[in-house]
Chains A and B, each alone.
Chain A
Amino acid sequence: MAPLKSLEKEYPLIDSNFLSFCASHAILSVEDFLLHDLDTLIAFADNHSTSHRLKQGIDQLLSIIDALNPPLLNGLQLLEDAQRNKHVVSTGCEGIDTLLGGGLREGQLTELVGPSSSGKTQACLLSASTVAKHKSSVMYLDTGNSFSPQRIACFVGQSSGHVFDNQADHMLKKVLDRIICYSVFDIYQMFDVLHQLKINLRSEIVRSNQHVRLLIVDSISSLITPILGGSGPQGHALMISAGFLLKKLAHEHNIAVMVTNHVVSGEDGISKPALGESWKSVPHVRLFLSRDCGTNVYNISILKHPSMVCHLITKLLHRASGRAASYSMYS
């Protein structure tokens, strides 16, 4: 929002007299006005010689503010939006899809928590390739150089059955074209990318081309943990605003957002997510991934879900072709 002065041209009621009246109450911007007590302001305006016009100015400001607000929606409208625009996006991984009742949901932020080599990045890559195969775009923010086109090729090859012929090559090229990967090494870069995405989506550059259905940040915790700590609140503030930005993108443009969060050991030796208590209220869905020692059996449990009961649901997920096997196919 803007300083009041910038409204002067557009709205004749907000004239120099009104501006100086506001300035005498230290109201220079719309934000100042929001923080100010309206009744006291009106009471002061009453004592003024031009009280009528001043009060009109205040009403004008209020209606400007009102116009900025999105309208109040009722349950039916909300549900209609949810049913029409917020689809389920398959992750390509049967275990996760059944657990989540179909997959990730557009408009929601899903978080994968787990120790290293628990399959977080694999789940990201698999989801990306699955969505791209269904002719939608994927934004992939890679913070640790872990994005692997070979792995994508493997996922695409596996599902199409034939790995090495031309048709598969052609398909793979298309799939990889639809995955837009950014290497992001600090949180400010992430903000840059996300803001650019927001602008693009608003101006429909991307949408006219292809619908972005999935946004992945692998891993968001490695961007945020360096800025936490210290005594100031700045790190936490950046973390929370990153969460709000992601949720806003997800909601307004119907994107499923998936982020990963690694695990660190806590005080009592029990591991806990790197992004802790304050972050917990950010994501819609939290999934916990782990792998049984020395096997290819992955466990997934729901830590939090808006419409499912959490905690004790744990399902085993067997991957027929484990990581090692798949890699050997290509080396």
Chain B
Amino acid sequence: MKSKEREEMEKWIEGDESGREMLMRVRSVRPFLLPSPLDRVPLRVGNVLELVGPSPSAKTHILIHAAITSILPKHLGGFDRFVLFLDLDCRFDITRFSQLLIHRLTHHDPTLYNLCMARFLYARCSDTFEFLRTLKTLHCRLEKEKEVQGVSAHLLMIDSIGAFHWMDRASMFLSQRDNNRKKLFLQSVSEAVVQNIKKLLQVHPMLIIATKSVIFGNRYSTASNEVKGNVEERCTRNTQNFQYREYMPSVWQSFVTHRILVRSSDDHPVTCNYQHSSFYLLEWLLPRLSIVDKIVVNEVRT
């Protein structure tokens, strides 16, 4: 009798989980900080971060850095998870990724390098239906990977979300359902994409980072003077408020929780030290922060 009471008491004291377990559990949903320049706002799984900017504006570069942070082990400042990269632009360069990873690994360690590379998962889609097909079947694939890798994914990257915009807008594909409702193909695609991602997030909580390129030029864009290559001229043009035209359907827009605008910077010190660097400006639009970050991309020397 006494021993039974004792047992109950002990069980109660023991609790349901250890502090370590609880910390692990809470951590997985708590906000986490991505490396600079994404560290101004705490992001958590379930958030959808959109990186908007003309091409080139280092969008993919920022993605690669965030991906590397996720796959690196904890003692190197990483999250020890795997990452899923959906390449809709079809121009991801793995050698670049590998170079940057080696750069981040402080010392030469082939086993660690292989482990990290294996945690980076990649799929390329070259039209809307391929994209939808991938999203529809991603759940099973992630489950499989989770078993193999022993860790779960916590980042889903889409580069770039508007890649099929023009093709979808002109698409003659009309399903009967949409015909009745007079809905545009573009809209039904976006709805299906958002819906599939939402469902995926329910079973695999992940942070989503999607890039979106600016596909409409406007008078404020740097498109025209970029070709000039004339440094003096660039310097005189002050960085006006860059505007871009939204083209994604509203269902996607309301799905996005955070938005960052990146653009190449025209005014920077023209000195020899910066010969091999590119400059970009990064601005939080959602939530709106008044700080404009400047990022410098240097050539990796290997």
Contacts and interface: CB of A to CB of B under 8 A. Distances in A.
A232 B170 CA distance: 8
A187 B53 CA distance: 29
Contact of A35 (B118, B132, B216): B132
B257 interface: no
Interface in A272-331: 272-273, 276-278, 280-281, 283-284, 288, 290, 301, 303-304, 306-314
A233 interface: yes
B231 interface: yes
Contacts of A25: 177
A76 B115 CA distance: 9
B122 A69 contact: no
Given A248-B126, A277-B223, A79 B94 contact: yes
Nearest to A39: B199
Contacts of A276: 217, 223
Contacts of B221: 277
Interface stretch (B24-32, B54-62, B248-256): B54-62
Nearest to B97: A75
B8 interface: no
A241 B229 CA distance: 30
B176 interface: yes
Interface in B219-258: 219, 221, 223-229, 231
Given A26-B177, A277-B217, A312-B275, A306 B60 contact: yes
Interface string B129-171: 1101110110011000100000000000000100110110111
A304 B56 contact: yes
Contacts of A69: 123, 130, 133-134, 137
A113 B227 CA distance: 9
Contacts of A39: 199
B94 A82 contact: yes
Nearest to A25: B177
Contact of A234 (B55, B163, B170): B170
Contacts of B195: 37
A94 interface: no
Interface size range of chain A in the complex: 35 or more
B54 to A, nearest CB: 7
Interface size range of chain B in the complex: 35 or more
A268 to B, nearest CB: 7
A27 to B, nearest CB: 8
A281 B90 contact: no
A74 B124 contact: no
Interface stretch (A60-68, A139-147, A166-174, A211-219): A60-68
B264 A270 contact: no
- Most B CB contacts (10 A, CB to CB) among A38, A70, A236, A306 go to A306
Contact of B229 (A32, A234, A301): A301
B111 interface: no
B199 A312 contact: no
Contacts of A271: 224, 227-228
A109 interface: yes
A240 B192 CA distance: 22
Contacts of B98: 75, 79
A227 to B, nearest CB: 11
Contacts of A36: 177, 192
Closest 10 CB pairs of A and B: A237-B170, A75-B117, A26-B177, A75-B120, A306-B93, A277-B217, A307-B96, A236-B166, A233-B169, A78-B94
Interface of A: 1, 25-29, 31-32, 34-39, 62, 65-66, 68-70, 72-76, 78-79, 82, 108-109, 113, 232-234, 236-241, 244, 247-248, 251, 263, 266-268, 270-273, 276-278, 280-281, 283-284, 288, 290, 301, 303-304, 306-314
Given A28-B175, A73-B123, A281-B163, 10 more contacts: A26-B175, A35-B192, A66-B137, A233-B170, A240-B166, A251-B124, A268-B224, A270-B225, A312-B231, A312-B278
